A and B are shown apart, each in its own frame.
Chain A
Amino acid sequence: EILMTQSPATLSVSPGERVTLSCRASQSFTRDLAWYQQKPGQAPRLLIYDTSTRATGIPARFSGSGSGTEFTLTINSLQSEDFALYYCQQGDHWPWTFGQGTKVELK
């Protein structure tokens, strides 16, 4: 099983800032990395898949990058609706596994 580790656990930021979330895998893979956003009481929402492809309807301020064991989600000019929990997920090997999440909160 591939272990996914996200950092930091919490990010305290102000609206308009650029935010970078990290996700590290316990073993290397090419591209099957996705990012989800989850708000309280809601199901997760797909933001990015295949490391860098934005899902339908996702604003361009969200971008993904990385390869091997290091992956990154960047949010440019953070908006008020972006305060949420973010999870990375690998789909390279079954069982697919998630990171433990990064909470983006208001500073």
Chain B
Amino acid sequence: EVRLVESGGDLVQPGGSLRLSCAASGFTFSNHWLSWVRQVPGKGLEWVADLNEGGTEKYYVDSVRGRFTISRDNAENSLYLHMNSLSAEDTALYFCARHVPRARAVDVWGPGTLVTVSS
């Protein structure tokens, strides 16, 4: 079964840091681009970051560029999101997702992990 499972979400104070992880199974992890997408509960979806198969090509939405870093460990079938200088606007459910090969969409999503930034 193709599966993604996020972890690491927590309650953190403004200005704090957090590292999210995403464990993959059931497919050849190193063959896929991966993404982080977030959703404020009850609101819409926002693309956060993209990473290519080898971990060398990265894209970020402007609101997180310079604060968040996407990375991966292909040997461990894991995707990460390092988040610094967190603010209340970063409070959301964070999903990791797998790209459709040779297409600009994602076809496998994890259940998400909740990040809450509050004092």
Contact = CB atoms under 8 A, between A and B. Distances in A.
A43 interface: yes
A71 to B, nearest CB: 13
A94 to B, nearest CB: 4
A105 interface: no
Contacts, number: 63
Contact of A98 (B45, B104, B112): B45
B44 A87 contact: yes
B46 interface: yes
Interface in B19-38: 35
Interface stretch (A19-27, A44-52, A74-82): A44-52
Contact of B109 (A1, A44, A87, A89): A44
- Identify the interface centre among A34, A53, A100: most chain B CB within 10 Å of its CB: A34
Interface of B: 35, 44-47, 50, 59-62, 95, 100, 103-107, 109-112
